[in-house]
Structure 1
Amino acid sequence: MNDLTVAVSGATGYAGGEVLRLLSSHPHLNVTTVCGHSTAGEKLGRHQPHLPRFSDLVIQESTAEVLAGHDVVILALPHGQSGQIAAELESTSPDTLIVDLAADHRLISAAAWEKFYGSEHQGTWTYGLPELLTEGGTKQREALKSTKRIAVPGCNVTAVTLGLAPLVQAGLAAPAGLNAVLANGVSGAGKALKPHLTAAEILGNASPYGTGGTHRHVPEIEQNLNGVLGADAADGPTRISFTPTLVPMARGILATITADAGEAAPRTAEGLLDTAALKDQLATSFAQAYGDEPFVRVLPDGQWPQTAATTGSNVAQIQFTVDERAEKVLVVVALDNLVRGTAGQALQSIHLALGLDETTALPLEGVAP
């Protein structure tokens, strides 16, 4: 395939920078344009010094006029900003593959969007999580093969969805009463200077945010899990208590997820949870869902995920067990929020939409120590 031109809007941010890093050695996708706002006119190397291949590219204004005409446009912009540019691009560049890393096109329910984001819904694009199970038994990658508009999932959403979707669909985890607590690296909050993200505030500290069901990833997680059950995106049976926590690391997510044992969970004649049988069924469910997936790894029994093992990698690590006394299923997921949680799965989805090998230029190995 001949080189395809790529423009990245929001190229000076963390997500934009990670997209560029993954594209720097890509055999088919050629970055020709980088865009920003206050940085327009400057060279990219001033803001992304770790990307020497692109250091001499001059940052252009992030407008639909500049972005038009490329084969692929990647919008690495804050929530609310990508929707306006995307709307203009859709009318002027209908054949361009547009990929939104923000939340503007993820939700199906306009009411859910307006409740959690407080603005007008921008419409729904094809969801960019290739491994996501669907009600019909296929995966989301099939839908991605025939789209020109991709909404990349949230990083926290990716971790929780990968950990729960196979179990909820199999009836091994009850969809109501789910709980997820996540340790998050501060890069997930973006590059803009904020007092609570400075070194003086974050080093030696951990703090929750988006508590009490207010975090914007809640409706997206519930949408995904309702989807595997064939239920309404916003009004299905899924309910999750979701609490992210900032911890002093640059990147990474460790999601600790608990669920009540579902209706299909095996029980003894006395009505007690059959822990051994349930663990076997959990293993089977994960194996069926991810056994052939290159970017989701269920770890060997007894080995638990850790964020350091996923740094720089497009692989999500998963482990599970059963809390017999509490009759809970426990799942732990680790991933790099900037790669597997954002830029990596964006590139996976782009490959599918363009008919390329899904794994092209995506790292399986992490960086250690």
Structure 2
Amino acid sequence: MTISVAVSGASGYAGGEVLRLLASHPSVTIGAITAHSSAGSRLGELQPHLHALGDRLLEETTVDNLAGHEVVFLALPHGASADLAARLPAGTLVIDAGADHRLSDPLAWQKFYGTAHAGTWPYGLPELPGHRDRLRGARRIAVPGCYPTSSLLALAPGFAAGLLQPDDVVIVAASGTSGAGKSTQPHLLGSEVLGGMSPYGVGGGHRHTPEIEQGLSLAAGTQVQVSFTPTLAPMARGILTTATAKVVPGTTAEQLRDAWIAAYDDEPFVTVLPAGQWPATKAVLGSNYTNLQLALDEHAGRVIVTCVIDNLTKGTAGGAIQSMNIALGLPETQGLTLQGVAP
């Protein structure tokens, strides 16, 4: 079985990561590789690490260039996917790495993004309860944001098991600079980032907040309220998320650990580390794997979960390809078994 795949936004970090993984996927043939302002350039000029694809020329991102493929990955800025996706054939598997189709609440979309809501697609995080079934046979998939991926993986098991209270969830996450995309921005220059950390989107204004609340609320079966603060770390890629929530009175550390292990014991890409071992971003660098650890703060009556992912792999491209595999009936881990890189 060979599947023809097109990738848009190939000059950016997300599109480049999709191509890196697809290049070693045994069931895929890479067709059109497209971009906007970089159309006509040789891919190797912009993505020199993609050796096998370096001589390919970037085409314009148009419906004509993308149509005719069995799978289309849209690695485009937020707001750029919806119109293009609407004009692609209904039988094409379209996987949107942008935010356009993640939220189910039109009011939340309009509040945080300021445009008309484009609709809701099946959510590409199969580790959440019930989501894997929704991906099987799907022809439209919304890839989660990188922060929501780590935040939801961190806390969903506790809410699904009824062990956490929904009204006081606090999440602080540190991300590498690649999460902001590849366009030149002064605050992301090496001289600005190296040697320090800084917060942004403080005060509930980050666009991933409603996405995190949406996923946790589905797991809990009731509305979950989240205070989310992202921070910028002096590294190229990776996310370290520390998520806390009040536990239901009487909940023990053993009950918490049992719930997380039960949720992830059969998951190929999520590991609850042995007691006493805490996650580090370098352990998952370049991989689709997630490491996490949890503890009960008995004094505060809260669970603390630390979760690490690579924001470009599990947080974007790896999650997209994992979802593609499920939708097409391929082995879920196919093309995604690369281990982390160290040192």
Normalised TM-score (structure 2): 0.98
Does residue 31 (structure 1) correspond to residue 30 (structure 2)? The answer is yes
8 Å CA contact 2:237–2:311 kept in 1: the answer is: yes
- SS, match of residue 52 in structure 2: helix
Inter-partner Cα distance in structure 1 for 2:221 and 2:305: 23
**Alpha-carbon displacement from aligned partner over 1:45-85 (angstroms, at most 9, x marks no partner):** 11010001111111000111211111000000010111121
Structure 2: gaps spanning 5 or more residues: none
Q: Which residue of 1 aligns with 2:150?
A: 159
Does residue 110 (structure 1) correspond to residue 77 (structure 2)? The answer is no
Inter-partner Cα distance in structure 2 for 1:319 and 1:229: 20
Inter-partner Cα distance in structure 1 for 2:300 and 2:246: 8
8 Å CA contact 1:106–1:152 kept in 2: the answer is: yes
Q: Which residue of 2 aligns with 1:260?
A: 246
- SS, match of residue 126 in structure 1: coil
Inter-partner Cα distance in structure 2 for 1:58 and 1:166: 44
Query: Which residues in structure 2 correspond to 1:1-369 (within 5 Å)?
Result: 1=1, 3-89=2-88, 93-133=89-129, 139-231=130-222, 236=223, 238-262=224-248, 265-266=250-251, 278-369=252-343
Rg larger for = 1
Q: CA deviation at 1:364?
A: 4.9
- SS, match of residue 317 in structure 1: strand
- SS, match of residue 39 in structure 2: coil
- SS, match of residue 322 in structure 1: strand
**Alpha-carbon displacement from aligned partner over 1:106-137 (angstroms, at most 9, x marks no partner):** 0000011000100010110110001111xxxx
Q: CA deviation at 1:284?
A: 1.0
The residue type paired with residue 170 of structure 1 is A
Residue correspondences, number = 343
The residue type paired with residue 321 of structure 1 is A
The residue type paired with residue 141 of structure 1 is R
- Label 1:352 to 1:255 Cα distance change in 2 as closer, same or farther (>3 A): same
Inter-partner Cα distance in structure 2 for 1:97 and 1:114: 26
8 Å CA contact 2:278–2:293 kept in 1: the answer is: yes
8 Å CA contact 1:321–1:331 kept in 2: the answer is: yes
Inter-partner Cα distance in structure 2 for 1:71 and 1:56: 23
**Alpha-carbon displacement from aligned partner over 1:233-292 (angstroms, at most 9, x marks no partner):** xxx2x11110000010000000011111125x43xxxxxxxxxxx111111101111000
Deviates more, 1:163-172 or 1:113-122: 163-172
Q: CA deviation at 1:146?
A: 2.1
Q: CA deviation at 1:148?
A: 0.1
8 Å CA contact 1:295–1:364 kept in 2: the answer is: no
Inter-partner Cα distance in structure 2 for 1:121 and 1:313: 32
Inter-partner Cα distance in structure 1 for 2:296 and 2:261: 17
8 Å CA contact 2:137–2:329 kept in 1: the answer is: no
Structure 1: gaps spanning 5 or more residues: 134-138, 267-277
- SS, match of residue 87 in structure 2: helix
Q: Pairwise CA RMSD of aligned residues?
A: 1.0
Inter-partner Cα distance in structure 2 for 1:13 and 1:141: 28
Q: Percent identity?
A: 55
8 Å CA contact 2:159–2:216 kept in 1: the answer is: yes
- SS, match of residue 41 in structure 2: coil
Inter-partner Cα distance in structure 1 for 2:326 and 2:246: 35
The residue type paired with residue 23 of structure 1 is L
Inter-partner Cα distance in structure 2 for 1:42 and 1:314: 29
- SS, match of residue 180 in structure 1: strand
The residue type paired with residue 319 of structure 1 is Q
Q: CA deviation at 1:181?
A: 0.6
